[in-house]
Amino acid sequence: MKLVLDAMGGDFAPIETVAGAVAFARDSGNTIYLVGQEETIRAELAKHDVSGLDLPVVDAPDVIKMEEKPAMAVRRKKNNSMVVGMKLVREGKADAFCSVGNTGAILTAGHMVFRRIRGVHRAVLVTPFPNNRGLHVLGDVGANTDCRPEWLVQWGHLLTIYATARLDVPNPRVALLSNGEEEGKGNELVQAAQVLMSRDPGLNYIGVIEPKEMMAGEADVVVTDGFSGNLVIKTSEAVAKYLLSILKQEIMARPLSKVGALLARPAFNATASRLDDKEYGAGMLLGLNGLVTIGHGRAKREGVYFALKATAHLVDADMLQKTKAKTELLIQAQQEQGDAS
Amino acid sequence: MKLVLDAMGGDFAPIETVAGAVAFARDSGNTIYLVGQEETIRAELAKHDVSGLDLPVVDAPDVIKMEEKPAMAVRRKKNNSMVVGMKLVREGKADAFCSVGNTGAILTAGHMVFRRIRGVHRAVLVTPFPNNRGLHVLGDVGANTDCRPEWLVQWGHLLTIYATARLDVPNPRVALLSNGEEEGKGNELVQAAQVLMSRDPGLNYIGVIEPKEMMAGEADVVVTDGFSGNLVIKTSEAVAKYLLSILKQEIMARPLSKVGALLARPAFNATASRLDDKEYGAGMLLGLNGLVTIGHGRAKREGVYFALKATAHLVDADMLQKTKAKTELLIQAQQEQGDAS
């Protein structure tokens, strides 16, 4: 398998991106193209033992500066690491593109290089998310902050296709994330989308749900706008860390509890690893004609490693072809239905 | 102290509301007016030992049904438990009104009975929220789902006043909740509010923050729209429960970890009680001429107990007078400045 990593994207690039790529190349044996300013990347690579690894460097001389508007800069400076990296995938030289850089910039580059699947309103960032019964899929988790109701409806379909393949569920239950289930709850977007989704015979729509039901595993697909979805995943991470940190404080304050925690350590480790699953290292942009994944902008080498691992998992599962073919069929059927009525 | 409880509000009223009121009256010695359909409430009270407790029942014959639009029904059926209960406070017969009923209905009743403090755009629901360094205050957590940028700016001021009194911080750091700090992040609302807040010399505005920084305690006041704020508090609760539940599963699967967890139980209990603090039982509606608190719609007796306890705490701290007087001064000063310029 051949992956492309945007070596210049993210808060700690290129030091941490290169280090994460080296570690993942070592563990997986995959080829990882490192795209960005060649000299800089080679200087980073020189700090590592890369014997036996396939880490080709591809030069992308244009650098987007912090003070530039990312989406505009991607258009203007076309020899940036995102556009150059995605072109490697488009040309068939690699299977997928992964970045922990600015989401808006990745989205712009993705639209430029791969284009949307015909009929798709907006690409949607989706990620598996753990719950009490297993996993559900959540999207949008950050690609589109201000959304229209019809986008959410279409994402319900795209996420259904993804969930069917990813979770191996035949008819995924689709829900809309809201702040309450009673009449009058939800913002204007949710209220409008709720009406459209409940009338859509192609969706197994079960209604709006709150975070409590989401974590209880009551839906397989949870649809939301990218601002809310991003807050939900970031709040989850932050609260999990907070909780484990105050538990640690309380344990360390009590000698007997310290002994107990030592004995219980395997259970703590198992809990932490259930949350740190490789699956959550990067989300997939659904709706493009190419496999693009986005990891955390704050990823250090371990985060980059897991972003690459999640990307490899999607390639292994042939997730692009599986979702793309079904999305094309879905949109074709919807258009024919529209023409017939 | 005399509190009013909406005995008919919430998913489990009146069984759980009455039970919670009885328990809190017993522990606190406070008078608690129970407002709603008199016969129904008396029938519930008959199931409890109420000797020595002061639990006057006030009849409010109008009942808002599940299928009615709550905010409209409150206007139409004025002898409902919310309006009747709030009038007891307005007439000086009680100090505060508490409900675990529909937020939209409480807000409508609150505006009808108490009216907004002159110059306040919208009342905002605020709650203390735990973080790694202590507490911050978060609002709006559910009163206003679709917001305008200028409301968020004013809430920055109202929450500053509240935080000064509540957290005993002289010059609270104010932040705007967002999905990222880079250029181009945030939805349209956040981007517009961000510009206004950064130009407001009266706010100690430190910028946008993500949930991670919020949980690290980097701000004393975190401002957001009511849809996002509600999702954030509900996600926090759901994730905390999920995490403790999978930790329990992993512990129970390992005999040695079970022994360890028994020894560490005091630390677990201390952690749970830090999260279950009485403070988070109900939020306060800031911006009204009366003390109104809102608890969880799904509160059972324990939740109602904590909602009443949080309300009593606000009365004890004289929070209405403290915030109201300063809000009036603030708005007067802003208007004079506006006239002068």
Q: In sequence order, what DSSP letters do the residues of B41-82 get, joined into one string?
A: HHHHHTTS--TT----EEE--B---TTS-HHHHHHH-TTBHH
A121 to A116, A144, A158, A321, B325: CA distances (angstroms)? 8, 11, 11, 19, 50
In this complex, is the C-beta atom of A277 within 8 Å of any C-beta atom belonging to chain B?
A: no
Q: Cβ separation of B215 and A265 shorter than 8 Å?
A: no
Amino acid identity, position A217: G
A239 vs B contacts (CB less than 8 Å): 211, 215, 235-236, 239-240, 243
Residue that is written with structure tokens 């995605």 in the block: A86
Which band of pLDDT confidence, cut at 50, 70 and 90, is reported for residue A271? confident
CB contact under 8 A, A188 and B146: yes
pLDDT at B277 over 60: no
Query: What is the predicted pLDDT for the residue at B66?
Result: 63
Which pLDDT belongs to residue B181? 80
**How far is B186 from chain A, CA to nearest CA, in Å?**
7
Averaged pLDDT, A140-157: 96
pLDDT attached to residue A129: 92
Q: Which residues of B touch A216 (CB under 8 A)?
A: 238
Tell if the CB–CB gap between A268 and B274 is shorter than 8 Å.
Answer: no
Which residues of chain B lie closer than 8 angstroms to A182, CB-CB? 66, 70, 102, 297
Whether chain A has a CB inside 8 Å of the CB on B295: the answer is no
Would you state the pLDDT for residue A117? 95
CA distance B71 to chain A (A): 8
Ordered by where they begin, the domains of chain A are: 2-120+287-340 (3.40.718.10), 127-275 (3.40.718.10)
Cβ distance B239 to A240 under 8 Å? Answer: yes
pLDDT digits (tens, 9 = 90+) for A33-77: 999 999 999 999 999 999 999 999 999 999 877 667 877 888 888
pLDDT for the residue B257: 86
Give how far B126 is from chain A: nearest CA, Å: 16
Dihedral angle of Cα B173, B177, B181, B186, to the nearest 10 degrees: -140
Q: Which of A:18-57 have CB within 8 Å of B?
A: none
Whole-model pTM: value is 0.92
Contact A187 B250 (CB under 8 A): no
pLDDT digits (tens, 9 = 90+) for B46-84: 999 999 999 999 999 998 776 678 778 888 888 999 999
Contact A71, A107 (CB under 8 A): yes
Confidence of residue A123 (pLDDT cuts 50, 70, 90): very high
Q: Where does the pLDDT of residue B276 fall: very low under 50, low under 70, confident under 90, or very high at 90 and above? A: low
Full strand arrangement of the beta sheet holding B282-286: B57-59, B31-36, B2-6, B96-99, B292-295, B282-286, B124-131, B134-139, B221-223, B174-177, B205-209
The pLDDT score that the predictor gives to residue A280 is 72
Question: Edge to edge, what strands does the sheet with A282-286 contain?
Answer: A57-59, A31-36, A2-6, A96-99, A292-295, A282-286, A124-131, A134-139, A221-223, A174-177, A205-209
Cβ of A132 within 8 Å of Cβ of B246? The answer is yes
Supply the pLDDT for residue A277: 54
- Cross-strand pairs, A99: A294
Q: Verify whether the Cβ–Cβ distance A187 to B256 is below 8 Å.
A: no
Q: Check if A256 contacts B (Cβ < 8 Å).
A: yes
Hey, is the C-beta of A268 within 8 angstroms of any chain B C-beta? Answer: yes
Contacts of B257 in chain A (CB under 8 A): 263-267
Measured at the alpha carbon of residue A146, what is the angle toward residues A124 and B213, in degrees to the nearest 5?
A: 90
How do residues B92-108 score in pLDDT, each as one tens digit?
999 999 999 988 899 99
Q: Is the pLDDT of residue A103 over 80?
A: yes
Count how many residues are written for chain B.
341
Q: Is B271 near chain A, with CB under 8 Å?
A: yes
Q: In the structure, what pLDDT confidence band is assigned to residue B168 with cuts at 50, 70 and 90?
A: confident
φ and ψ at residue B147, rounded to 5 degrees: -120, 160
In one letter, which amino acid is B115?
Answer: R
Percent of chain B at pLDDT > 90 equals 71
Burial class (CB in 10 A: 0-12, 13-18, 19+), B48: middle
Instruction: Please tell me which residue of chain B has the smallest CA distance to A101.
Output: B182
Closest CA to B178 of A228, A273, A137, A73: A228
Across all residues in chain B, what is the average pLDDT?
92
Query: How many Å apart are CA B46 and CA B37, to the nearest integer?
Result: 14
Does residue A238 sit at the B interface (CB-CB below 8 Å)? yes
- B116 closest CA partner among B334, B316, B331: B331
A-chain residue closest to B238, CA distance: A212
Asked whether the beta carbons of A220 and A173 are under 8 A apart, the reply is yes
Contacts of A68 in chain B (CB under 8 A): 183
A267 neighbourhood in chain B, CB within 8 Å:
247, 250-251, 253-254, 257, 260-261
Query: What is the least distance, in Å, from the CA of A92 to any CA of chain B?
Result: 32
- Residue B111 has which token pair? 């505006």
Provide the pLDDT for residue B67.
67
- Which residue of chain B comes nearest to A129, CA vs CA? B239
Alpha-carbon gap: B111 to the closest alpha carbon of chain A (Å): 17
- B66 Cβ under 8 Å from any chain A Cβ: yes
Average pLDDT over residues B2-20: 95
Residues within 8 A of A (CB atoms), B 86-105 only: 102-104
